[in-house]
Amino acid sequence: MKVSNGGGAALAIKAAVCLVFAVIAVFFVIQASLGARGGGGDQPREDDISLGLGQTVYNSLKGLLDDLASSRVLALAPAWELAVNGEAFLEEQGGVLYLTSNVGQVMAVDAASGEILWSLDLGAWVSAPPAVQAGVVYVGATDHVLYALDAGSGTLLWYYTSQGEILAQPVINGDMVFFTADNDSVYDLLHRLYALDARSGTPIWVYDTESWTPSPPAVGEDAVYLGGYRREVYALDKYTGGKLWSFKASNIVLSSPQIVAGQVLFSCIDGWVYALDASSGASLWSRKLPGFVWLAPPGGSGSVYACSHRDTLTAMATDNGEELWDFTGDELISCANLDEDGAVCAFSTGGKAYLLDAAEGKLLGMLRAEHAFSSPPLLVFGRVYTASSDGFVRAYPLPDRIR
């Protein structure tokens, strides 16, 4: 991967240099003042304390300078932008970007040009991205309805009314679509997992649990896996909905489980990450990380990524949970693999994208957008698609110098 210096990095280095010299100057002024004042008795010498403090500050700033000098900052410039009403959620399929918003707007946009291909208003709150497969867009809404729309025109193909609000993204697997729904009451939450025929909307099976979760299930070859606030992870038969096994975790499981190499990986809000045998539910390994933890998509080289609320991204080996490296960023919200470059791109809400070496976690450089990211960006075919806090969806081509 080749990353070139940007103007932002040069300015940052100059500013840091000025700051270092300013601190050094203040430090020597303090030393001169304390030396003139003198000291005595058994009290700790103020100049010794000041010396230690000054050395600590100097060392910290020197480390900052070293980091700035070794890193690269490139600006992300949008190829196009599109105003969207409300908070937007994104999915890409076949060169088309599909958008939903929390005010019920659904649209298809040409991913290359930003041209709107079609748009409609569901008239209901939508809180998750759509799912797209085989020419059909599936959108769940808080009016309890799962909508199946023609991907080319937005025409309604069928709809299914569930018992409660659909808050998470549907999951399509083969000829089946899976989604969760919850009743409207904050008490006695009834959590229901549905499996429908993806072509007609005909229900195949329904599974009831009180273990509410805002995240979609994970669907494997023969089973469906789901977590929740009851601290359990369930495995259900994919075709019948029958319970295969369950595992009691240390705390609430709000993120989606992941299926990697015959394992089910998931995290708890208290920082524990677990790996279970997908067929039996037996515990294979577990690791404690700091604070609230969510799992990012698995890496392509035998690693899984977890991010804590302390903004630390940790890479672990999927076979035994061994920590490979960690990286501390700023308000991290997601990460994605740049597999062809052997790199990981970690996104922050502040419009930053940290480029990390996948093997060692070393900072290779940083991309920076002018606007903050309000939701996890999509990284597809050399472009970053993201919704911003100012009400726009933007497409950012990755600079050629990192591709």
DSSP line for 167-197:
-S--EEETTEEEEEEE-S-SSS--EEEEEEE
pLDDT in tens, 149-163: 999 999 999 999 998
Lay out the sheet containing 383-387: strands in order across.
80-83, 392-397, 383-387, 378-380
Query: Tell me, what's the pLDDT at 228?
Result: 86
**List of the chain residues with pLDDT < 70:** 1-71, 184-189, 297-301, 339-341, 401-403
Query: Tell me, what's the pLDDT at 9?
Result: 45
3-state secondary structure at position 18: helix
The predicted model scores a pTM of: 0.81
Q: Tell which phi-psi region holds residue 69, choosing left (phi > 0), alpha (psi between -120 and 50) or beta.
A: alpha
What φ, ψ does residue 36 adopt, rounded to 5°?
Answer: -70, -30
What φ, ψ does residue 65 adopt, rounded to 5°?
Answer: -60, -40
CA within 13 Å, CB half, 9: 20
Query: Tell me, what's the pLDDT at 191?
Result: 84
Q: Are 401 and 75 in contact (CB under 8 A)?
A: no
Residue 241 token pair: 């909905």
How many angstroms separate the CA atoms of 335 and 338, rounded?
A: 10
Beta bridge partners of 140: 146
CA within 13 Å, CB half, 141: 22
Q: Are 76 and 367 in contact (CB under 8 A)?
A: yes
Torsion sign (Cα): 69, 71, 72, 76: negative
pLDDT in tens, 271-308: 999 999 999 999 999 999 887 888 876 655 678 888 88
